[in-house]
Amino acid sequence: MLHSLQTGFNRQLYIPKLSLLKRNLNLHEWQSKTLMQKHNVSIEEFKVADTPQGVFNAIEEMDYPVYVIKSQIFAGGRGRGHFVENGFQGGVQFAKNASEGYKFAEKMLGNHLVTKQTDEKGKIVRSLMISQGMNVKRELYFAVIMDRVTQGPVIIVSPKGGTSIEEVAEETPEAIAKFPIDIELGPTIEQKMKIAEFLEFNKELFPKVAKEVQALYDLFIKTDSSQVEINPFAETKEGDIFSLDAKFNFDDNAFFRQKEVFSMADRSEEDPRELEAAKMGSSYVGLDGNIGCMVNGAGLAMATLDVLKMYGGEPANFLDLGGGASKDVVVKAFKILSSHPNVKTILVNIFGGIVRCDMIANGILEAVKEVGLDVPLVVRLAGTNVEKGIKLMNDSGLPIITASDLGDAAKKVVKSVNEVVKKN
């Protein structure tokens, strides 16, 4: 979730990606196909099942020489993945009949699939998509995204689909073309023809390509997508064009006018701490360290991660309470941090501008009494009523370590966590 940047001071800064500051809706492949179907994008016939018998029945209802059975998880590289419980190879399988489909489903459903985009624990497969096997001639790449540089939609295409677009960009960047789109007009006829030409379609297929490009772009705009990625965007031997695999992202800011889309959300794979934080209007992202962080304001939260790293610490999370954090929010945030199994020390770094430091201190004390304090707690407060806040904590009789500034807090929290690790 984070990438690092080497600085002139010979240390690394944590630079949170934009995804830390907002929560995006992800859809399973079958859900994306449902949306594509609704917006007149050409797709193959498909069904969804969550039991082996359901897979058997789905295949029985279709009539094709081969069927593709795909694990539905939020991760790429499913075809090359493996299942933890039984070692079964491949989260994507090809079945010739219902009996084969049933046997595959028994090995896939309810088990954890590990891919290049998951951790070693993998993600549990709760459903499978069963689709018509296509007679694919070529696999291409198509995407529509919002682009910062042009401040509008950009269509990205490549004749080298069916593989990681990042690898294509690194190895053969000339095989990728970008087409900035005027958001008021949409893709022009000329742009659609250039896209078809770059993708190396025969001229007789240009009208079909133009139709699919327009349909995918319309879907992107009408659903307030931040990304529509089709990989592969396929040409069949029969001369048809299908969107065979899709990945969509939607900004949560579009919820108020895309309630039908957001009702499709499957939160079962998300970190429950992130969901709890979202309910109280806070932003939480789990990281790999052991220092739990509670901060108000995204900028201060990012600076806190940076300073911790500078002093040799490893943050366990990014948690921004927001500018108007209340006492109740602080209590709930403590519960979230305390539920993280890796947290060995907690750092609270609050600037009292909109919110008063004495109110935050009361929230901390109430949280400690309610949740308990099993790990060292370091608190740095600054701003409105800071003296009152510090006095409240010092007079509480609780083992709370106060700090004068962020650097002091970082030193104390790193020292505390090292002592805890040594004891264990």
- Known binding site for Mg(2+): residues? 231, 245
Catalytic residue among 29, 229, 235, 274: 229
Q: Verify whether residue 284 is a known catalytic residue.
A: no
Catalytic residue among 141, 212, 274, 284: 141
Q: Which of 32, 67, 77 is nearest to 230 (CA)?
A: 32
| DSSP-based three-state secondary structure for 307 | helix
Yes or no: say if 290 and 344 are a contact pair by the CB < 8 Å rule.
yes
- What burial letters (b/e) apply to 11-44, b meaning 16+ CB within 10 Å? eebbebeeebeebebbbbbbbbbebbeeeebbbb
Task: Give CA–CA dist 12/358, Å, rounded.
Answer: 34
Residue partners of 159: CB distance under 8 A and separation at least 6: 138, 140, 141, 175, 198, 199, 200
Which residues are documented as binding site for substrate? 296, 353-355
Task: Give CA–CA dist 257/411, Å, rounded.
Answer: 47
| DSSP-based three-state secondary structure for 34 | helix
Task: Give CA–CA dist 269/257, Å, rounded.
Answer: 24
Q: Which of 344, 290, 348, 360 is nearest to 320 (CA)?
A: 348
* Phi, psi (deg, nearest 5) at residue 146: -90, 130
Alpha-helix runs per DSSP H in 158-188: 165-171
The tally of CA atoms less than 13 A away on the side-chain side of residue 267 is 12
CA distances, 400 to each of 34, 223, 361, 365 (Å)? 53, 49, 11, 9
Which residues are documented as binding site for ATP? 70, 77-79, 139
| Residues that are catalytic | 141, 229
